[in-house]
Amino acid sequence: MAEEKRSFYRGRRVLITGHTGFKGSWLSRILILAGAQVTGYSLDPPTDPALFSLLDLGREMTDVRGDVRDLERLRRVFAETEPEVVFHLAAQPIVRESYRDPVGTYAVNVMGTVHVLECVRHTPSVRSLVNVTTDKVYETREWEYGYRETDRLDGYDPYSNSKSCSELVTHSYRQSFFGEDGCAVSTCRAGNVIGGGDFAVDRILPDCIRAASAGRPVKLRNPGSVRPYQHVLEPLSLYLKVAAAQYGDRRFCGNYNVGPDDCDCVTTGELAELFCRAWGGGASWVGKSDGGPHEANFLRLDCSRVKSVFGWRPRRHVKEAVEMTAEWFRALPDGFLSGSGDPAALREAACAAARAVTDRQIREFFAE
């Protein structure tokens, strides 16, 4: 991590909700390497295998299992740990799952945000909060322009709409309860992230990894849909920058898009093709709609504001992001993804490999 970030976070008490998820695990590891005192509040890892478990993060941070829908338990964790900085990542993040369970999705993504903000309101030690939402919070217009932070919020599906509601809740709390002397609050609306250690279902690159490891072509539901794909370290670097900047100067509070440059907004088919080239071994893909629920066909962010305010720029093009992802999974021992071989020995080797490649990618990224 760059020295200015490391110096801010060294010894800083940081609480992450959703720390056992994909982005939460990468963020936890970055902060641990920076010397922060990290507490995580989350359900069990959502997949098996999971990045959180492979990195054995529970040994180097305070690992609390809990549901953001449980306000009283969340209150106790805030009171016991007295965090100074909070990153709210806990969410139900899958569009198709939100169609299967809209009630649960709204409960986690809306009331979970209310509970986090309520805990922040009653915890004087918290000076900076970043609520992580999504690029899908905007009203779907299917236009060729990138959405700006001032565009209307009205996500289409239950996941996207619940994240729009999370944005509105955050705005209300910021206006109502966090005045000049209160906690500094921002939201970050990130595009689709890719990277090593993502084992989720219904996500393009994890599906590619599973298919390639099994020697079969990956099936793409919407190969022509355009998305702003970026490596997971890109938005995480911005979250860290926003939290540190607004801690010392409330003028940095606000809503920020964080995504790749326009040249890296590619179709799902193009992303799969990049993966196949990076993976090698005859990896391939086919377009095959499964008649699933509605998803936007064209989505792009205008990131002018965050570039102007913070001087932030994406550091990796989509081709490099895909190559980093393939490199991460290629580092795992043969047989781990397919489940062939001695499970205990494979897991031990996988943990060592995952820690090594994750730490190296973090250090190389932040050293630039």
Mean pLDDT of 125-139: 96
Q: Considering only CA atoms, which of 20, 17, 24, 60 is closest in space to residue 44? A: 20
Check whether 296 has a pLDDT greater than 70: no
Mean pLDDT of 121-147: 92
- Tell me the one-letter amino acid at 301: L
Residue 88 token pair: 């709210």
Check whether 242 has a pLDDT greater than 90: yes
Domains, in order of start, for the chain: 3-367 (3.40.50.720)
Other Cβ atoms less than 10 A from the Cβ of 55: the count is 21
Higher-scoring residue by pLDDT: 239, 338: 239
Mean pLDDT of 254-275: 92
Q: Rounded mean pLDDT of the chain?
A: 93
What's the CA gap between 16 and 63, in Å, rounded? 10
Helix (H) / strand (E) element for 337: namely: none
Work out whether the CA dihedral 141, 164, 254, 8 comes out positive or negative. Answer: negative
Strands 128-132 and 184-190, bridge-based pairing = parallel
What's the CA gap between 217 and 211, in Å, rounded? 6
3 state SS of 331: coil
Check whether 327 has a pLDDT greater than 90: yes
What's the CA gap between 109 and 111, in Å, rounded? 6
**Which residue in the block uniquely carries the two structure tokens 């590891």?**
29
What's the CA gap between 185 and 118, in Å, rounded? 13
Greatest distance between any 2 Cα atoms in the chain: 59
3 state SS of 129: strand
Residue 248 token pair: 């010392």
Mean pLDDT of 54-83: 98
Per-residue pLDDT, 281 = 86
Neighbour-count burial of 313, counting CB atoms closer than 10 A to its CB (0-12 exposed, 13-18 middle, 19+ buried): exposed
3 state SS of 158: helix
Residue 320 in contact with residue 163, Cβ under 8 Å?
Answer: no
**Which residue in the block uniquely carries the two structure tokens 């005192």?**
37
Check whether 286 has a pLDDT greater than 60: yes
**What is the percentage of the chain residues whose pLDDT exceeds 70?**
95
Q: What are phi and psi of 353, to 5 degrees?
A: -65, -45
As a three-state string, the secondary structure of 256-281 is: EEECCCHHHEEEHHHHHHHHHHHHCC
